[in-house]
Amino acid sequence: MAGRYKSDLNWSDVTPKDVWLNRRKLMAGAGAVALGSIAGPAAASLNARKTAYGEALEPNTWDEITSYNNFYEFGTDKGDPARYAGELTTDPWTIEIGGLVDRPGSYGLEDILKDVTLEERIYRLRCVERWAMVVPWVGFELADLLDRVGVQPSAKYVAFETALRPEEMRGVRFPVIEWPYKEGLRLDEAMHPLTILATGLYDEPMPNQNGAPIRVVVPWKYGYKSIKSIVKITLVEEQPPTAWNEYSAHEYGFYSNVNPERDHPRWSQKYERRVGGGLFARQTPTAKFNGYGEEVAHLYAGMDLIVNH
């Protein structure tokens, strides 16, 4: 999108009181919390509507979810995001939405959340590195936002970018990958009801190390597809470049669906380890599409998922 300007999208210019209070409480407490995470019990509840998604699953604990993270913008060690992500300023926050949409613009997060009904969805999370969690996300369907900005008929993909702030993200000072972090989904994947924009977990505002203030969650794909701290969403006609696919296409495909039949070149994907089980945690078989095949397998009918990995 050329230039930034106020959109004509008819969202309220006034931040809802509960959102305003939640964000102010979060920011007031963030500086006092050790390791860059939010004090869960002290933060204002998001009052998310409970859903049936994952109700039979046992979530990982708050400490496990917020202390074991991949967020290379803050370092490559699993504990680095919790140590350093508190340096990221998340208020105010804007997302530039452009490309093949009817109402492009730079939208404040408070306007994006205006009149949104937040839901709690308990999803499995599977990392390409073979570790897994169960996370009680709070968010709303990405399709809701895309519908509001008006997707044009020629759009086939959705491209995303993470914030790039070297003064606040110490990890981007090193050429781990090409920054900023980029991801993308096919439009039907982005519009699928399971794909959400998450703004919290355990009914608390999203901790910085988990992708505050807003991130994508696509539960049937490896975790790196669920891009964090989003600042840009672009609707495009051609398949967009993505960070790990550019880094090593034979290791990290564009689709990156969880698939025990397609091993990573350097390790098997047939088994996974649940975080929180200790050093000798029992490995369990990996479920294709991370267990969401009944809902999403039809998206890939007729595709060779070994070639199109």
Q: What is the mean pLDDT of residues 67-91?
A: 98
> Position 283: which residue type?
Q
Q: What is the pLDDT of residue 278?
A: 74
pLDDT for residue 28 is more than 60: no
Higher pLDDT, 228 or 32: 228
pLDDT for residue 4 is more than 50: no
Task: State residue 173 phi and psi, 5-degree precision.
Answer: -75, -5
How far is Cα 309 from Cα 95, in angstroms, rounded to an integer? 29
Banded model confidence at residue 236, pLDDT cuts 50, 70, 90? very high
Q: What is the mean pLDDT of residues 116-136?
A: 97
Banded model confidence at residue 45, pLDDT cuts 50, 70, 90? confident
Mean predicted lDDT score pLDDT of the chain: 88
**Side-chain-side CA neighbours of residue 185 (13 Å):** 26
- 11-25, 52-66, 273-287: range with highest mean pLDDT: 52-66
DSSP string, 215-262: EEE-TTB-GGGS--SEEEEEEESSPPP-HHHHH-TTTS-SS-B--TTS
Q: Residue 92 burial by CB count (10 A; 0-12/13-18/19+): exposed, middle or buried? A: exposed
pLDDT for residue 30 is more than 50: no
The strand order across the sheet containing 230-236 reads 105-108, 94-99, 230-236, 157-162, 182-186
- The four Cα atoms 304, 246, 1, 13 give a dihedral, to 10 degrees, of 80
Banded model confidence at residue 92, pLDDT cuts 50, 70, 90? very high
pLDDT for residue 208 is more than 50: yes
pLDDT for residue 11 is more than 50: no
Each residue's pLDDT tens digit, 148-164: 999 999 999 999 999 99
Higher pLDDT, 134 or 3: 134
Higher pLDDT, 31 or 214: 214
Banded model confidence at residue 187, pLDDT cuts 50, 70, 90? very high
Helix, coil or strand: residue 208: helix
Lowest mean pLDDT among 18-32, 129-143, 147-161, 197-211: 18-32
pLDDT for residue 174 is more than 70: yes
Q: Name residue, tokens 């590195």.
A: 129
pLDDT for residue 169 is more than 80: yes
Each residue's pLDDT tens digit, 243-298: 999 999 999 999 999 999 999 999 999 999 999 987 667 899 999 999 999 999 99
**Side-chain-side CA neighbours of residue 282 (13 Å):** 2
* In the chain, where the domains are located: 11-300
pLDDT for residue 13 is more than 90: no
Q: Residue 229 burial by CB count (10 A; 0-12/13-18/19+): exposed, middle or buried? A: buried
Which H helix or E strand runs over 105? Answer: strand 105-108
What's the CATH class of domain 11-300? Answer: alpha beta
pTM score, two decimals? 0.86
Name which of 299, 298, 228, 291 is nearest 258 in CA terms: 291
Q: Are strands 215-217 and 196-201 parallel, antiparallel or unpaired?
A: antiparallel
Banded model confidence at residue 220, pLDDT cuts 50, 70, 90? very high
How far is Cα 153 from Cα 47, in angstroms, rounded to an integer? 36
Q: What is the mean pLDDT of residues 69-98?
A: 98
pLDDT for residue 37 is more than 60: no
